Amino acid sequence: MPRLPRFSKNAEGFTLLEVVIALAIMVLAFASILSVQSGSLNASARARQMNIVGMLAKTKMVETEYLIEGKTFDELGKEAGGVFSAPYEDYRWTTTIKEIEFPSLSMGGGQSGGSDGGEQGMEMVTGLITQFLSKAVREVTVTIFWKRGTAEQSFALSTYWVDLNHEFSLSK
What pLDDT sits at residue 109?
Answer: 54
What pLDDT sits at residue 133?
Answer: 80
CA distances (Å), 86 to each of 54, 83, 111, in order?
A: 17, 9, 65
| Tens of pLDDT, residues 110-135 | 454 445 667 777 887 788 888 778 77
Query: Taking the chain, what is the end-to-end CA distance rounded to the nearest angstrom?
Result: 119
pTM score, whole prediction: 0.65
Q: Kindly give the parts of the chain with pLDDT less than 70.
A: 1-11, 105-117, 166-172
Reported residue count of the chain is 172
150 close to 135: Cβ distance less than 8 angstroms:
no
Nearest to 127 by CA among 166, 170, 73, 74: 170
| Tens of pLDDT, residues 34-55 | 999 989 999 998 899 999 999 9
